[in-house]
Structure 1
Amino acid sequence: MSSARSIPRSEKSLQRVDTTIAVAETAEEAENRREKERKARIKEQKAPLGRVWNEMRSEWGMVAFGALLSGGAGVIFPFFAKFFGQVMIVLTQTPPRENFISDSNTNALMFVVIGIASLITNGGAIVIFEYVGEVMARRMRTLSFQAILSQEMGFFDKEENNTGALTSRLATDAYQMHELISQIMKLAFQTIATVGLGLGFAFAMSWRLTLVILALIPFLAASQYFAIAALTGFSNKTKKAYEQSGRVANEAISNIRTVVTLAKESTFEEKYYKVTQEPHSFALRRAYIGSLGYALSQGIMFWTYAIGFYAGQRFVEAGMLTYPDLIQTLFYVVFMSMGLGQIASQLPRYIKGKESAINVYELLDKHTTIDAFKDGITPERVEGHLGLENVQFHYPTRPDHKIFNGVDVAAKPGQTVALVGPSGCGKSTIIALLERWYDVLDGKATIDKYDVRDLQLSYIREAMALVGQEPVLFDISIGDNIRYGIPDGQHVDQEMVVAAAKVSNIHDFITSLPQGYDTRVGDKGSQLSGGQKQRIAIARALIRNPKILLLDEATSALDSESEKLVQEALDRARAGRTTIVIAHRLRTIQDADLILVVKDGAIIESGRHYELISKGGLYSELCKKQNLEVTH
């Protein structure tokens, strides 16, 4: 990278970037505070190992076999120490013993046997625990995803439950629980076997020297911990430090057309340069600390050897220990301590696994206030009566901002009710309450005179269809997008898809495409125009043959030609259905059976088009601004 591109280009632009970064840092401080509070709360909780173990009950047989293999892998170290000590004695004994060759061959053969045993036990244990861990991770990821989808809309309105945070939790929490099983559990069984057999061999050989070296075990374990944890900590901390720069890069790249259009390339280059300075410095500090930790770990290991040899030599001089026993005892304890060090080095993984398990079970245990699959009333048929009765409401994330204070709305079956008014007055909130995305604080939202809170929600929603201002299409074919409108378990064929497309004025366009209904629409429908996406969304709504149709400014973002086609489709779609229409372009709702004028969370006018015109109120003023006819 050239110098011109890696440093700020002017004092003025640098000040602009500093201001941007200062705002970002303020938001980051709030996020860090919430993260610290969450970690402090998690730290006080115990790891839900019992629940994790219970989740694995279908794999208990495999876990038992894996534990047996891990135990076998654990005894490799003590037996290796035993034969390594013996071969050292054979090779260093002067003069060489008479059976030098046969003893050397025997010990060499035992190393081959140990290698084969290590291959079988370690390899088998890794395969089994990795498999069990992967099964567990997939199961928990699936359960977490189901729990997320079952939450009420207020859950997703919270900042900590944004899309990035939830997808990150799906990706990382289940995987870290996988490591809790595949790594920690395997190593725990292995360490128990290593410590048990190693201590037994060591005490049988020389209990005095064993006690001396055991006093140094904390230092030996710490040496292994520093050797591994310092380096893994370096990697994890560096990755976390660069998350901010990743966000800046993602923002710039995902919005590259806007960045280029505004000629803000240099601004984002400077911003990226600034946000990488701190993590870069932090990474260097971690490198220094990691190097020191690794060097210290190596030093402690050799210092322990020195103390062990010194104490052993004194015991040999005192006639309390033979030199061969000294060598073997030392190897038994040292290799045992290395096993303890390995389990100590997994402490960061254990902590992460514990946090992830707590996060997952908090999500699974969270009681959703609006459960679409909770048992409730399921009327034999949906007539189409809709209403709000003396509704009080504010959004969960904005308790100080009341939206409704005693609002009443009523729609009869087959009636078209239009909602008009300035932006932010509460029109879309009415649809949200009828869909039961949120619960009212007081009063009730009703469908066919039933309180929506008493109804079996998934059944009711199957009788409703919503077309929004910016419809979301999935990156699949046009035909499959339309088929998504059919409730699960119901039959759908190509004739139904074509019929819905014809009603929504999109069939001719689809058949003109080379692949017809099999044409992929691209990410969020990026391969289609706004009007085309809107008409496909209408077809998706109509294929379910809903009794209740909800239209939230379905034509406001379209050009005049697209609006005409979409409006024709909507006019046909409204026939025989109870329809709630939100519109800014008043000419599209002049023939509505009832027009409700909403302002500041209240219904201030109601009636048909010319009735409201004659009143000379807000609706009349809105019509004048849009050059609509204001005289009968």
Structure 2
Amino acid sequence: MSLFYFTTRRHIIPFLAAVIFALASGLTFPLLAIILGRIFNELTNFGAHSIATAQLMDAISVNCIFLFALGLSIWFIQSAYLSLWIAFGELQVKRARDELFKELLAKETKWFDLTTDGVTALLPRIQSHMRDFQLAVSQPLGSVFQGMVASLTGLILALYISWSLTLISLATVPVCAVVISVISMKIQPEIKAQRQELDRASKFSSNAVYSIDIVKVMNGQALEIENYMSAIRAAARHYLKQVRFTAIEIGSIHMLTFGMAFVGKLNPGQVLTTFWACLQATQSIENIIPQLLVLEKGRAAATALKDILGHVHPIDGSTGLMSENKTPRFCDGDIKFDNAYVDSSEVTFAYPFQPDRLVLNRCSFFFPAGNITFVVGRSGSGKSTLGNLLLRFYAPASGEILIDGVPIHSLDINWIRNNITLVQQQSPLFNESIIRNIAFGAQDPVCVRLDDIVGCVSFAHLKETVQSMPNGLDTVVGLGGDRLSGGQRQRVALARSRLRDTPILIMDESTSALDYYTRIAIMDSLRKWRKGKTTVIITHDLSQIDEQDFVYVVDNGRVSCQGYKTGLDSQHQPIIIPSPKRARIKSSGVGDITSGPVSCPKAFELSTPANEPRLFSQ
């Protein structure tokens, strides 16, 4: 069952204890019927002058003592019953949270890209599932056990005292069962539809709050409110249908139970006991019915959580190759995008959310160990995808990527990410202090020396910025680093990468928000730091490129030119960032791509107006 998907051996003892107390709680209801029947029988005998007043008082006193003892027992049993079921629910949801958190960290990037309604609605949806699941496996589940025992024992007691009266009293039970079954089938689709609408509402609210500045600038408050309210109204309609079905269910049961009649030649005490036992049995069933809706929601929530956990990662992306989890002792840093094992083509890749658009189309790159290599090109040309492929966020559709001659799909994923650092343009930060955000770059963030942090701050030219803040390095940067400027966020990310100091560094427009002089100063520090280490710099800023640097020019997912800057300039053949609308190819001969210093092929010339930006000019 889905409700017990997260149950482990450690949960069995609390679960069994909770079940035992639920069963004991259910047994108290027939005992109450027996005691009340005895009291009523004594009162009837006294009214018929069968017993004296003293005998009545003695009999009533004894039964009242039994009733008091039963009340104390019910108090203890009910307290233990509720406490144990709540504890069991907490244990279940704790394991569910732990497993979900581990699974989300292990998910492939592709899974997040294809998530319905996006990542912004994912966490609220999981929290909603957690609440429904926790509620279902706690007291409501215990109430079902309790109600089943109470109804069964009540029925047995009633049959024991008078089977004929019991059969007449419970003649409507089969009809009740049919009503419950039919209506329950109608409720589950409404639960699913309500959850989908709530997910939509969560997505609208999350997006609006996260981008509140854009909403206000565009004066889109009314539109966002309307989108949110439309989803809430739709969810309310589905919820009202659930309530109506449940009301019909409960009302039908009440109508049938109120129509019970009993006849027979029994003494009044037996009649009362039988009728009370039958009433307890039917009321127990009635008490179970509202819990069925809670259990249905919990079952649906547990199934949704199980589906998230059910995603396995045995295969490396779309290539179909099993990872061998190799962990080389050293990482020199040679990176090669080479000929493929599929149709001898080069590396090809398309993002899963746009499978028909090739971001990289038969590209070959070589980033030699110990050197700085630049990759340039216009926005959307595919250059930023290199970092995603090297860190194995995605796998190429065809082609092969090698690190130190070893195919990347055969390397252990942790080894890859321990030896490669990617510094992105957005520079995401955690809602922590500056010092903790920098310390996260270390293998053990808890044991980082303050001197190392200070050195990284100096490297990123953050010293004056930190000194100007009221709490210095302990200043909290806010959600995503929103309390810092774009340039400050980028410098914190650079300081973090300096502390990490991996053999391979990929910088993807990671200085784009800095002013010219700070950018030049950081590049000088970067060249000193990365001397003898593999560094790939993806940029639009041509001022960072020295004459001896090797450059790849990427356009429309292909390598259009490559070579050392000095060699390209000496050919009097300028390399141009092509405009997607204005650039046109005058000749189709492109020549072969090699890993040595070459110039742009002379047959490959792009025509563009004089005011278009150029990568290199004479």
- Per the normalisation by structure 1, the TM-score is 0.80
Q: In structure 2, which of residues 374, 382, 389 is the aligned counterpart of residue 426 of structure 1?
A: 382
Instruction: Give, in angstroms, the shift of residue 49 of structure 1.
Output: 6.2
Structure 2's unaligned 5+ residue stretches are 339-345, 578-599, 601-605
1:618 aligns with 2:576: yes
Distance in 2, Cα, partners of 1:147 & 1:412: 35
1:204 aligns with 2:166: no
1:109 is aligned to: 65
Instruction: Give, in angstroms, the shift of residue 338 of structure 1.
Output: 1.8
In structure 2, do the counterparts of structure 1 residues 489 and 159 end up closer, same or farther at CA, with 3 Å as the change threshold? closer
1:381 is aligned to: 330
Distance in 2, Cα, partners of 1:282 & 1:364: 28
Instruction: Give, in angstroms, the shift of residue 57 of structure 1.
Output: 1.0
Instruction: Give, in angstroms, the shift of residue 114 of structure 1.
Output: 2.1
Amino acid at match of 2:304: N
Distance in 2, Cα, partners of 1:280 & 1:354: 21
In structure 2, do the counterparts of structure 1 residues 138 and 115 end up closer, same or farther at CA, with 3 Å as the change threshold? same
Deviates more, 1:234-243 or 1:412-421: 234-243
Instruction: Give, in angstroms, the shift of residue 398 of structure 1.
Output: 2.7
1:216 aligns with 2:165: no
Deviates more, 1:516-525 or 1:374-383: 374-383
SS of 1:427's equivalent in the other structure is coil
Distance in 1, Cα, partners of 2:248 & 2:2: 35
Q: In structure 1, which of residues 526, 538, 555 is the aligned counterpart of residue 494 of structure 2?
A: 538
SS of 2:354's equivalent in the other structure is coil
SS of 2:467's equivalent in the other structure is helix
1:415 is aligned to: 371
CA root-mean-square deviation: 3.7
2:411 is aligned to: 455
Distance in 1, Cα, partners of 2:56 & 2:438: 83
Distance in 1, Cα, partners of 2:458 & 2:115: 41
Structure 1 residues 59-458: aligned runs within 5 Å:
59-91=11-43, 94-95=47-48, 97-98=51-52, 99-160=55-116, 162-183=118-139, 185-218=141-174, 248-268=204-224, 297-303=253-259, 307-308=260-261, 311-312=262-263, 315-316=264-265, 321-369=266-314, 376-389=325-338, 390-458=346-414
Amino acid at match of 2:292: L
1:9 is aligned to: none
SS of 1:442's equivalent in the other structure is coil
In structure 2, do the counterparts of structure 1 residues 488 and 362 end up closer, same or farther at CA, with 3 Å as the change threshold? farther
In structure 2, do the counterparts of structure 1 residues 604 and 510 end up closer, same or farther at CA, with 3 Å as the change threshold? same
Deviations along 1:58-111, one digit per CA (max 9) or x if unpaired, are 132222222221111010111112222333444456246423333333333333
Distance in 1, Cα, partners of 2:312 & 2:478: 36
Contact 2:117-2:203 within 8 A present in 1 as well: no
Structure 1 residues 42-57: aligned runs within 5 Å:
47-48=1-2, 51-52=5-6, 55-57=7-9
Contact 1:393-1:442 within 8 A present in 2 as well: yes
Deviates more, 1:427-436 or 1:402-411: 402-411
Distance in 2, Cα, partners of 1:258 & 1:354: 39
SS of 2:399's equivalent in the other structure is strand
Deviates more, 1:266-275 or 1:456-465: 266-275
Distance in 2, Cα, partners of 1:280 & 1:178: 22
In structure 2, do the counterparts of structure 1 residues 482 and 293 end up closer, same or farther at CA, with 3 Å as the change threshold? same
Distance in 2, Cα, partners of 1:105 & 1:396: 78
Distance in 1, Cα, partners of 2:185 & 2:30: 24
Amino acid at match of 2:12: W
Q: In structure 1, which of residues 452, 472, 476 is the aligned counterpart of residue 432 of structure 2?
A: 476
Amino acid at match of 1:422: R
Distance in 2, Cα, partners of 1:237 & 1:439: 35
In structure 2, do the counterparts of structure 1 residues 160 and 235 end up closer, same or farther at CA, with 3 Å as the change threshold? closer
Deviates more, 1:530-539 or 1:274-283: 274-283
1:551 is aligned to: 507
Deviates more, 1:169-178 or 1:522-531: 169-178
Amino acid at match of 2:276: F
Deviates more, 1:170-179 or 1:120-129: 170-179
Deviates more, 1:220-229 or 1:56-65: 220-229
Amino acid at match of 2:573: K
Structure 1's unaligned 5+ residue stretches are 1-46
Contact 1:242-1:276 within 8 A present in 2 as well: yes
Amino acid at match of 1:122: Q
SS of 1:576's equivalent in the other structure is coil
SS of 2:465's equivalent in the other structure is helix
Amino acid at match of 2:489: K
In structure 2, do the counterparts of structure 1 residues 287 and 164 end up closer, same or farther at CA, with 3 Å as the change threshold? same
Distance in 2, Cα, partners of 1:628 & 1:246: 45
In structure 2, do the counterparts of structure 1 residues 101 and 357 end up closer, same or farther at CA, with 3 Å as the change threshold? same
In structure 2, do the counterparts of structure 1 residues 494 and 354 end up closer, same or farther at CA, with 3 Å as the change threshold? same
More helix by share: 1
Instruction: Give, in angstroms, the shift of residue 507 of structure 1.
Output: 2.6
Instruction: Give, in angstroms, the shift of residue 447 of structure 1.
Output: 0.9
Distance in 2, Cα, partners of 1:504 & 1:122: 63
Distance in 1, Cα, partners of 2:427 & 2:446: 23
In structure 2, do the counterparts of structure 1 residues 224 and 116 end up closer, same or farther at CA, with 3 Å as the change threshold? farther
Deviates more, 1:289-298 or 1:104-113: 289-298
SS of 1:471's equivalent in the other structure is coil
Distance in 2, Cα, partners of 1:229 & 1:113: 43
Q: In structure 2, which of residues 549, 553, 576 is the aligned counterpart of residue 593 of structure 1?
A: 549
Deviates more, 1:471-480 or 1:115-124: 115-124
In structure 2, do the counterparts of structure 1 residues 249 and 135 end up closer, same or farther at CA, with 3 Å as the change threshold? closer
SS of 2:82's equivalent in the other structure is helix
Instruction: Give, in angstroms, the shift of residue 332 of structure 1.
Output: 0.6
Q: What number of residue pairs does the alignment pair up? A: 572
In structure 2, do the counterparts of structure 1 residues 262 and 187 end up closer, same or farther at CA, with 3 Å as the change threshold? closer
Contact 2:117-2:200 within 8 A present in 1 as well: no
Distance in 2, Cα, partners of 1:431 & 1:568: 23
Distance in 2, Cα, partners of 1:125 & 1:455: 52
Deviates more, 1:512-521 or 1:168-177: 168-177
SS of 1:426's equivalent in the other structure is coil
Kindly, what percent of the aligned residue pairs are identical? Answer: 25
In structure 2, do the counterparts of structure 1 residues 341 and 591 end up closer, same or farther at CA, with 3 Å as the change threshold? farther
Deviates more, 1:398-407 or 1:528-537: 398-407
SS of 1:437's equivalent in the other structure is coil
Contact 1:71-1:189 within 8 A present in 2 as well: yes
Instruction: Give, in angstroms, the shift of residue 498 of structure 1.
Output: 1.3
Instruction: Give, in angstroms, the shift of residue 294 of structure 1.
Output: 5.7
Instruction: Give, in angstroms, the shift of residue 252 of structure 1.
Output: 4.2
